[in-house]
Every structure is written in C-alpha cells, then in structure tokens.
Chain A
Amino acid sequence: MAPLSSEAPAVAGPMTPRPFRVGSRRSETADTWTLTLEPADDGPPPRFRPGQFNMVYAFGVGEIPISISGDPGGEGPLEHTVRAVGPVSAAICRAQEGEMLGLRGPFGSSWPVPEAAGRHLVIVAGGVGLAPLRPALLEALALREQLAGLVLLCGGRSPRDLLFRAELERWGADPGLELGLTVDAAAGGWSGRVGVVTKLIGGARFDPANATAFVVGPELMMRFAVDALLDRGMRAGDVYVSIERNMKCAVTQCGRCQFGPTFACREGPVMELGAIEPFFRTREI
C-alpha cells in the first residue's frame, strides 16, 4: 500500500474544499462570531476583493456562503463574521481555535471602491450587513485621499446587536469619516440614535449627483434604503446592493441562486441597482 501523501489531492477544483484552521474566534454579539482562518496546507491565504465570499464547510454538517469580513489589503489570515441562524452557521460559530473548516473561494463580484475615486462614497449597512461591507470600508479608508467624502450609515436591532463595536468607536472619532449609527430600539443607558437606518440617509452629507452607494442588509431594509437614496437624487447606476440568495455550488452549476437572468454567485453578490432594477422588486424572484 502506498504511503499517505501530505500533498494536495490530485483531483482538485472549485468544488473541493481547502482545509483551513481556526486561528482565533471573537464574539461580536450573543449570536455572531468573527473567526480568523489560516490555510492548513501551508499555502498562502487566498487574495480577495471586498464583497467576495467563500463557501465555508463545517465538516459533517454542511456548507454555506459567508462573505469575507477582513481587510483586503492585509497580509493576515482570512476573516469571516458569522451569525448563528441555522445548523451550519451554528457549527461554524462553535468552531474552536485549532479546529478545521473547509473553504472554497473566493467567489463573486466585488464592491467598486477604486471606481469611487473623486466621488462621495456612502456605505449603508443593516445588522450583520456591516460584515461584508467592512472590507470595502477598510479599502475606502486606505484610499480616502482619493474620495470626495466617506459616509458610513449603520443600523442595528439594539445596541448589543452592533458588530465591530471597538472599530465603530474608532471610526466615529475619525474626522475623515462621517458615521451615522442608529438602532431600532434601546433600553436605558444608550445615548445614541434610535430609529431606522434609512432615516439617516436624508441628513447625511454627500452630493447625490457625485456619489456612489453600497447597501447591505435584509432585503426589506435594502429596498427602503434604496428608495431613500433615490429620493436624495442618486442615480440607480450609482447604487450597489448585495443580493444574497440560496447559493449552493457557487460556480453557476446548480442554479439555486438564479436572480432574474443572473446568478447571485457569479454576477453577484454585489450588483449595480441599475442593472437589476426591473426585477429587484419582483416578488416572485
């Protein structure tokens, strides 16, 4: 019998998960964790663009698409921020330091941050929608000299449900970034805003004729946010949303994530509103 090889299997492709080891885990909220993942095969971590996702495999449980939440310009391990809402995401959130997960990717389209040079960049995040937008914000902060302005509008269910709280404080103190933060409800002790995130759009400082907007959140929140951006005078072609459908294969073979004439795993998840407007509000899609 031939000895077991430590080399990668001969048959590998986009459907073969690559083993990654959990480097660290950090609690963001009661049900959301940020994991750092390091390749277990001694290869480098994959390069990615802001907005791209990986298929993350909890061995023996299942595989789901998770956006990358780390710094695209960083040399460190991959970061994924995961909310436990089902058996697979709960298993990923439970993964301890040193445990193995499988990864396929990165897949999908990305936030056009460099294309926003010379313009105001408005980032609107609802709930865990801040996770896929964090790489875009980090890239925008690195390119801030090229932007006319940078606005982050962030909404959450309650103060204890906000992600990246230490960074939010830092971003709030950054004079080069206008941060609007609000929660849907709050008990005593919260001196910030209470109300829906879409309400912040009307008062944010940006020129709608020269702005690019990125929006991520539950689809209902995105619809209202998009309306508020268009009401401010923005063009649909300058607004980008993240369409996250039921992705299974991530390589356009299974058809589960079809969104009108597009596949969310290939043309998405980041899509220009102008290109998808005819079916963005179609209930059957």
Chain B
Amino acid sequence: MPTRSIDEIIAAMPTFAGLAPERLELIAGCGRNQGFEAGEQLAREGDPADTFFAIRHGRVALEVAAPGSGEMTIETLEEGDVVGWSWLFPPHRWSFDARAVEPVRAIAFDGACLRGKCENDKELGYELMRRFAGVMLDRLQATRLQLLDVYGAAVE
C-alpha cells in the first residue's frame, strides 16, 4: 500500500479539508508522524505548547488533575480531531493534560514553524485562524452543554 504524504492525510481531516494544495503542503512542512502507546502523554498541563496534534487513529483524553480526585477526563478526541490550540495564542502553554487512551497515531505539528508561516502568509494565517475558531466554537458549545448538567437535576 503506498504511503500517503502528510498533506494528503490532513486534506481528509475536517480542520484542513478544502485548503488549496499549496497551503496544505506549507502546513504539512511543519508536521511529522508520531505514535503514542496507550497511557502515554501527548501533552502536560503547564508545559510549553510548542506542538499540536491531528489524530490519524486512536483516542486521546483531555484531562485535568485535581488533588483528591485524581484525573478527570473532560473530553475525548478521535480520528480527524485536532488536539491543542494553545500554540496559537501567547503564552503558548498547555491548559490540560492530553493522554492516549489507546494506541494513537497522529501528525505532530511544530507550532512555532506554523506561526512563522502564518506571519509570512496572512491569508494562510486567516484561514487557519478561521478554522481553529470553528473548532473552538464547537468545543465551547459542547462544554456549555456539559456544564448545564442536563442529566443531573430532574423533577417528577
């Protein structure tokens, strides 16, 4: 089976779908394939967010650790999802832990590399910012629904 290039792989992911081939190549130039074993951390809260990931296969849990409660999973992400947007915004620091729940294959992107390309190509920067804003909006809406705890309180 022929090996697909990174630009071909990310072209099928919702966050990157529809981008012009030359832009996909630009983005792919900052990415590399990376694998994680089940239980391995992709990122750790407080660490510099110099990388983000696009999941090719497997499930990643976003977790926050609280004293006495252990790790709480606040969301899981799967094939086609991106993990991390702190690379876009100062101070470029991870807000959560990200852990592979099962073996994960991902494209790891160098955030500084991509930020540099966005500075040089404002259209690429706008396009990426627009797409990541969409991802953030979806996650914000989902988080609001989780916060409402719709399954919690009920009346007779």
Top 6 A-B residue pairs of the complex, sorted by shortest distance between their CB atoms: A86-B156, A127-B151, A157-B151, A218-B150, A85-B154, A194-B73
* B154 lies within 8 A of A83 (CB): yes
- Given A187-B69, A191-B101, A194-B75, answer yes or no on A221-B156 (Cβ-Cβ < 8 Å): no
A contacts with B: majority SS:
mixed
Interface size on B, residues (CB 8 A): 24
Complex CA distance for A159 and B125, rounded to whole angstroms: 40
Which of A126, A186, A187 has a CB less than 8 Å from the CB of B150? A126
User: How far does the alpha carbon of A161 sit from the alpha carbon of B149 in the complex, in Å?
Assistant: 12
Asked if B61 lies at the interface with its beta carbon under 8 angstroms from chain A, I say yes
Number of contacts between A and B (CB, 8 Å)?
A: 75
B70 interface residue (CB < 8 Å to A): yes
List residues of B (106-148) whose CB comes within 8 Å of A's CBs. 142, 145-146, 148
What is the CB-to-nearest-CB distance from B93 to chain A, in angstroms, rounded to a whole number?
23
- The size class of the interface chain A forms with chain B is 35 or more
Cα A192 to Cα B61 in complex, Å, equals 9
Q: Max chain B CB contacts within 10 Å: which of A89, A184, A190, A220? A: A184
Residues of chain B within 8 A (CB-CB) of A218 are 150-151, 154
B59 is an interface residue with CB less than 8 A from chain A: yes
Whether B26 is near chain A, meaning CB under 8 Å from some CB there, is: no
Name the contact of A185 in the complex, choosing from B59, B72, B148, B155 (C-beta under 8 A): B72
Please list 13 pairs of residues, one from A and one from B, whose beta carbons are closer than 8 Å in the complex, sorted by A's number. Answer: A64-B156, A85-B154, A86-B156, A127-B151, A128-B151, A184-B146, A185-B74, A186-B73, A187-B72, A188-B71, A193-B76, A195-B76, A220-B148
B142–A199 contact, CB under 8 A? yes
Q: Does B102 contact A (CB under 8 A)?
A: yes
Beyond A64-B156, A88-B156, A224-B145, whether A191 also contacts B150 by CB under 8 A is no
Q: Is the CB of B151 within 8 A of A156?
A: yes
Which residue of chain A lies nearest to B102 when distances are taken between CB atoms in the complex? Answer: A191
Is the C-beta of A135 less than 8 angstroms from some C-beta in chain B? Answer: no
Residues of B close to A88: CB separation below 8 A? 156
Task: Using A85-B154, A199-B142, A217-B150 as known contacts, say yes or no to A194 and B61 having CB atoms under 8 A apart.
Answer: yes
A199 to B139, CA, bound (A): 10
Using Cβ atoms and an 8 Å threshold, which residues of chain B touch A182?
76
- In the complex with contacts A86-B156, A187-B69, A191-B101, A196-B151 CB distance below 8 A: no
Question: Is B152 an interface residue, CB under 8 A from the partner?
Answer: yes
The residues of A that contact B73 with a CB separation of less than 8 Å are 185-187, 190, 194
Q: Which of A68-90 contact B (CB under 8 A)?
A: 83, 85-89
